[in-house]
């Protein structure tokens, strides 16, 4: 049994964060039907064959555990198919700019009139209302406007873009899942569905909650590279090792710092440690760079892995800074089953990143790989009781694909 078994999700998303949101719902057991626009190409252009595009598609986990329904929502008969699906669905997730689903006739008001128990989640850059609602954007815009991007990087350098991990994935995707799960839980109490409005900007700002308290309380403004959690102080940071790799040290607590200094035979540094203000501001005292320099000289005497093996038994917060090709061979990562293997009929064994949500009774599971475009169109329409003759006509008229 799965946590979200017997939950039907209609996925209208078309970019990574939306795909991650619905992938997680699928991993938790939802039946997810991905409704995809029909490409303006010939059927031959969609043929499956082994090349880099197919391999990248199959290895990409974002559409795993989903069915693909090709549907031209600009066609009236396609919208009728969508409405029939909505009668059965529990959740709709879309990631268009505000107003697009209204023009397509599949907005919340329309869908809720068909099924009042529907949970309808919209993921958009700036939300469904406000002066920026209609603006396009990407992660770098949302992290910038949230104040997060300005806090990442060295004190003397420009902001450093952290991939699209924050606004897109930690922000919109995860908060979308949380909002949907909360609405599903509330449905048991209030007896009806509701609208879930998730904005990339809002969710990225929410990641600053801890640091925002100091600004609201005292007006303190965080500066890039100047706080303890930026690595501005030597007890929390990364150090190069003899092999040109890096080791991470996270000794925020005094007991860890004292043990580290003892293990490195630098006991005289133990008194130079964390103060509460270090969370919010840096120091001009050259002492901290002197302390860092002493640690760096010591760390250059062994390799990264030698330092990890040496320091871990001391019960010190220490970690290796991995490259991508090292992460998935780590024994802890393997023990936690953070990679999964599935079989593809053409490509054989396919490895993907597993689910981080570990449930004892209803575990998450990658059950099947991403579908090809329109792979389940006929199957879904048959389940909706459309006759074969009508399905064939829909294909001919490009209502479905």
At 45-90, the pLDDT tens digits run: 344 444 567 888 888 899 999 999 999 999 999 999 999 999 999 9
- In whole numbers, what is the pLDDT of the chain averaged over residues? 94
Give tens-digit pLDDT for 354-388: 999 999 999 999 999 999 999 999 999 999 999 99
Q: Does 140 fall in a domain? A: yes
Residues 75 and 164 in one domain: yes
How much of the chain is in helix, strand and coil states, percent to nearest 5? 45, 15, 40
The per-residue pLDDT for 124 is 97
The per-residue pLDDT for 60 is 87
Residues 147 and 105 in one domain: yes
Rounded CA gap, 251 and 257, in Å?
5
The per-residue pLDDT for 56 is 83
196 exposure class (CB count in 10 Å sphere: 0-12, 13-18, 19+):
buried
Name the band, by pLDDT with cuts 50, 70 and 90, for residue 318.
very high
Residues 346 and 305 in one domain: no
Q: Does 108 fall in a domain? A: yes
CA-closest candidate to residue 229, choices 182, 170, 281 = 281
The per-residue pLDDT for 41 is 41
The per-residue pLDDT for 58 is 87
- Residues whose CB is less than 8 angstroms from the CB of residue 159 and which lie 6 or more positions away in sequence, other chains included: 144, 149, 150, 151, 152, 153, 224
Residues 312 and 167 in one domain: no
Indicate the residue among 321, 348, 371 that finishes a domain.
Answer: 321
Give tens-digit pLDDT for 221-234: 999 999 999 999 99
- Residues whose CB is less than 8 angstroms from the CB of residue 41 and which lie 6 or more positions away in sequence, other chains included: none
The per-residue pLDDT for 51 is 53
- Residues whose CB is less than 8 angstroms from the CB of residue 62 and which lie 6 or more positions away in sequence, other chains included: 16, 19, 20, 23, 370
The per-residue pLDDT for 39 is 87
Residues 311 and 354 in one domain: no
Q: Which residue do the tokens 């802890």 mark?
A: 332
Residues 33 and 128 in one domain: yes
Q: Does 234 fall in a domain? A: no
Indicate the residue among 296, 321, 346 that finishes a domain.
Answer: 321
- Parent domain of 386: 8-207+336-396
Give tens-digit pLDDT for 133-147: 999 999 999 999 999
The per-residue pLDDT for 213 is 85
Residues 93 and 148 in one domain: yes
Where residue 13 sits, what CATH number does that domain have? 3.40.50.10540
Residues 344 and 277 in one domain: no
Report yes or no on whether pTM surpasses 0.85: yes
Residues 18 and 71 in one domain: yes
Give tens-digit pLDDT for 147-188: 999 999 998 899 999 999 999 999 999 999 999 999 999 999
Residues 56 and 181 in one domain: yes
Give tens-digit pLDDT for 236-278: 999 999 999 999 999 999 999 999 999 999 999 999 999 988 9
Please check the confidence at residue 326 and state whether its pLDDT lies above 50.
Answer: yes
Indicate the residue among 287, 321, 355 that finishes a domain.
Answer: 321
CA-closest candidate to residue 187, choices 120, 101, 123 = 120
Q: Does 78 fall in a domain? A: yes
CB 347 within 8 A of CB 55: yes
Q: Does 1 fall in a domain? A: no
Q: Does 171 fall in a domain? A: yes
Average pLDDT (109-114) is 98
Question: How many residues make up the chain in this entry?
Answer: 401
331 exposure class (CB count in 10 Å sphere: 0-12, 13-18, 19+):
exposed
Q: What percent of the chain has pLDDT over 70?
A: 97
3-state secondary structure 289-333: HHHHHHHHHHHCCCCHHHHHHHHHHHCCCEEECCCHHHHCCCHHH
CA dihedral of residues 372, 377, 379, 381 (deg, nearest 10): 170
Rounded CA gap, 258 and 268, in Å?
10
Give tens-digit pLDDT for 1-22: 999 999 999 999 999 999 999 9
Give the number of domains in the chain: 2
Rounded CA gap, 89 and 11, in Å?
11
Rounded CA gap, 10 and 31, in Å?
9
Residues 194 and 90 in one domain: yes
Rounded CA gap, 363 and 27, in Å?
9
Residues 317 and 360 in one domain: no
**How remote is the C-alpha of 206 from its chain's centroid?**
15
The per-residue pLDDT for 52 is 60
Q: Does 92 fall in a domain? A: yes
Sign of CA dihedral 234, 235, 238, 242: positive
The per-residue pLDDT for 214 is 85
């Amino acid at each position: 049994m799965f946590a979200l078994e017997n939950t039907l999700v209609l996925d209208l998303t078309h970019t990574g964060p939306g795909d991650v949101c619905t992938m997680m719902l699928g991993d938790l057991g939802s039946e997810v039907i991905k409704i995809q626009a029909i490409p303006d190409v010939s059927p031959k252009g969609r043929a499956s064959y082994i090349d880099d595009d197919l391999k990248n598609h199959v290895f990409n986990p974002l559409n795993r555990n989903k069915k693909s329904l090709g549907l031209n929502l600009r066609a009236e008969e396609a919208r009728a198919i969508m409405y029939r699906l909505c009668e059965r669905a529990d959740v709709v997730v879309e990631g268009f700019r505000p107003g697009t689903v209204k023009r397509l006739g599949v907005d919340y008001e329309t869908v809720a009139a068909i099924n009042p128990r529907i949970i309808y989640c919209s993921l958009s850059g700036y939300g469904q209302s406000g002066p920026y609602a209609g603006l396009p954007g990407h992660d770098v815009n949302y992290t910038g406007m949230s104040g997060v991007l300005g806090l990442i990087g060295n004190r003397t350098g420009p902001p450093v873009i952290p991939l699209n991990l924050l606004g897109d994935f930690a922000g919109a995707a995860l908060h979308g899942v949380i909002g949907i799960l909360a609405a599903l839980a509330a449905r048991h109490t209030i007896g009806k569905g509701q609208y879930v409005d998730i904005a990339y900007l809002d969710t990225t700002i929410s990641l600053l909650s801890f640091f925002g308290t100091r600004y609201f309380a005292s007006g303190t403004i965080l500066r890039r590279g100047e706080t303890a959690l930026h690595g501005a102080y030597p007890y929390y940071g990364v150090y190069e090792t003899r092999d040109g790799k890096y080791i991470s040290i996270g000794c925020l607590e005094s007991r860890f710092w004292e043990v580290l200094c003892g293990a490195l035979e630098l006991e005289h540094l133990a008194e130079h440690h964390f103060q509460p203000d270090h969370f919010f501001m840096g120091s001009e005292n050259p002492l901290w760079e002197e302390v860092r320099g002493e640690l760096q000289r010591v760390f250059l005497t062994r390799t990264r892995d030698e330092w990890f093996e040496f320091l871990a038994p001391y019960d010190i917060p220490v970690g290796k800074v991995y490259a991508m090709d090292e992460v998935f061979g780590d024994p802890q990562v393997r023990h936690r089953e953070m990679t999964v293997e599935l079989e593809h009929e053409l490509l054989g064994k396919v490895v993907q990143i597993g689910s981080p949500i570990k449930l004892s009774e209803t575990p998450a599971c990658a059950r099947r790989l991403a579908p090809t475009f329109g792979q389940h169109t006929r199957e879904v329409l048959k389940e909706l009781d459309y006759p074969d003759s009508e399905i064939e006509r829909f294909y001919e008229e490009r209502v479905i694909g």
